Structure 1
Amino acid sequence: MSKLSGFLLAMLGLALAGAAGAQGLRPDALAMFGGRYALDCAKADSPRVLVEAQQMRIEQGNQRITVGTLDSAFSYFGQNPPPDFRVALLGQVKGRHEVIALVNADGKGQYLSLDGDRTVMANLGALGQAKFRHCNEAANRQAVADQQAAKQAEAAARAPVAPGTAKHPSELIRDPRFKPAYRRALGPLSRTPWLGEMNGPAPDLRQQRIGGVDYTVAAFCQPHDCGDNNAVLLYDAAQGRVFGLLQQKGRMQGFGSPPGPLLAELNAIWRKEWGQGR
């Protein structure tokens, strides 16, 4: 008797959980992630997970547990998903036991791993650590291609940009002349992720002439918390100088030691970008 069989017997009263009221998988998600996953796709009797539009079935032989209220969560890990993550399939057994199927991809294609609440994991035993391989070769090839494309895009997003060509703060931070000047201006503040990476919401860069000097003006904020954590800066590319004004949790402070006239300009820019005219 396998460990999966023990799980099925323990959950026997829940095995016919209905999918009524389930969100269900969208057609595009079903096309990418639906179908049969197995420990060994070559063996018909291998333990398997069948992903359908409204439900997911965990099977061994003629034994079955049905997971209803199935839905997909592409943002399951928020802004920083593991590199191989594709989607989380979420469901419940009889509305009482949470089940999560994480679909990932590696060089061989897609695979699914099971997770869930304490009852689910205790009864799955070793199968809770298993990889169920997708048995659709076309979907596997597409998953590998998608992951490779995503990694290439990520590498491109980290690649340096030619000085003076940045159009957005997320590009400016990759300017090899700007970045060291900016880090010097920030000092210890550079260890604050959203400041050091300039990866939050932001308008495009613009140019402004102040006191006979041409500055690049940047405004950006912390992802999901722009109201209380935001910044503006002036970058003098010719001299390699950065002056900025930062709000963190309602507290204002300058960085880069802006002289009085520039600090006044920074305050005006900040009020326009983040202060709602204050």
Structure 2
Amino acid sequence: MRQVMIVLAALCSAAPAWAEDLPNTADMVQRPNFSKAYHAMTELPEWVSKAAAVSTPMGNVTFNGKAYLVGHLCKPHDCADNQLEIMFSHDGAQAWGLLSRRVEGRLYQMPLGTPDSGLLAAMHAAYSANNPGG
């Protein structure tokens, strides 16, 4: 945390010297030399977007009186480090996910589809059930 504060302090103190010359962020990410990196950063991995994954049978779960379908996907040949818990409304009209990636031993998790806190907790529980050792 201390390192982050030092970096932020350095950026804030340096900003006035060059801030006038830079466009706003939304314009910057539209520039061709920045756009490719921006879109690569925001793109889901192909195994997720194409569902080209190892998967389990869907299950039924009821949460707060509503029925959902819950399932699990993982990246072929790298399931331990790349997983997706997914929940669908029973009619298929809505979907939510929890993308989990382990990089250099550290777990990063990103919710997809803006789940509420209850659905997010259910997907964390599903992740834990699919990864009993941690």
Q: How does 1:125-140 map to 2 (within 5 A)?
A: none
Instruction: Verify the 8 A CA contact 1:246 1:253 in the aligned structure 2.
Output: yes
SS in structure 1 opposite 2:52?
A: coil
Residue 235 (structure 1) aligned with residue 103 (structure 2): no
Residue 251 (structure 1) aligned with residue 87 (structure 2): no
Matching residue's letter, 1:247: S
Alpha-carbon shift at residue 225 of structure 1 (Å): 0.4
Instruction: Verify the 8 A CA contact 1:217 1:232 in the aligned structure 2.
Output: yes
Q: How does 1:94-105 map to 2 (within 5 A)?
A: none
Cα distance between partner residues in 2 of 1:277 and 1:235: 26
Identity %: 24
Cα distance between partner residues in 1 of 2:116 and 2:46: 26
Residue 276 (structure 1) aligned with residue 132 (structure 2): yes
Partner of 1:266: 123
1:207 to 60, 68, 76: 60
Spell out structure 1 runs of 4+ moving beyond 6 A.
none
Residue 197 (structure 1) aligned with residue 50 (structure 2): yes
Residue 226 (structure 1) aligned with residue 76 (structure 2): no
Matching residue's letter, 1:253: M
Alpha-carbon shift at residue 237 of structure 1 (Å): 3.6
Q: How does 1:52-201 map to 2 (within 5 A)?
A: 188-190=42-44, 192-201=45-54
Deviation string for 1:221-257 (max 9, x for gaps)?
A: 0010001100101100437111111112331111111
How many pairs align? 89
Partner of 1:68: none
Alpha-carbon shift at residue 189 of structure 1 (Å): 4.0
Q: Which runs of 5+ in 2 are unaligned?
A: 1-41
Alpha-carbon shift at residue 277 of structure 1 (Å): 5.0
Instruction: Verify the 8 A CA contact 1:189 1:195 in the aligned structure 2.
Output: no
TM-score scaled by structure 1?
0.30
Matching residue's letter, 1:207: N
Cα distance between partner residues in 2 of 1:263 and 1:235: 12
Cα distance between partner residues in 2 of 1:226 and 1:239: 25
Deviation string for 1:147-198 (max 9, x for gaps)?
A: xxxxxxxxxxxxxxxxxxxxxxxxxxxxxxxxxxxxxxxxx444x2100122
Matching residue's letter, 1:209: T
SS in structure 2 opposite 1:194?
A: helix
SS in structure 2 opposite 1:217?
A: strand
SS in structure 2 opposite 1:195?
A: helix
Alpha-carbon shift at residue 218 of structure 1 (Å): 1.2
Structure number with larger C-alpha Rg: 1
Matching residue's letter, 2:78: D
Cα distance between partner residues in 2 of 1:245 and 1:214: 18
SS in structure 2 opposite 1:226?
A: coil
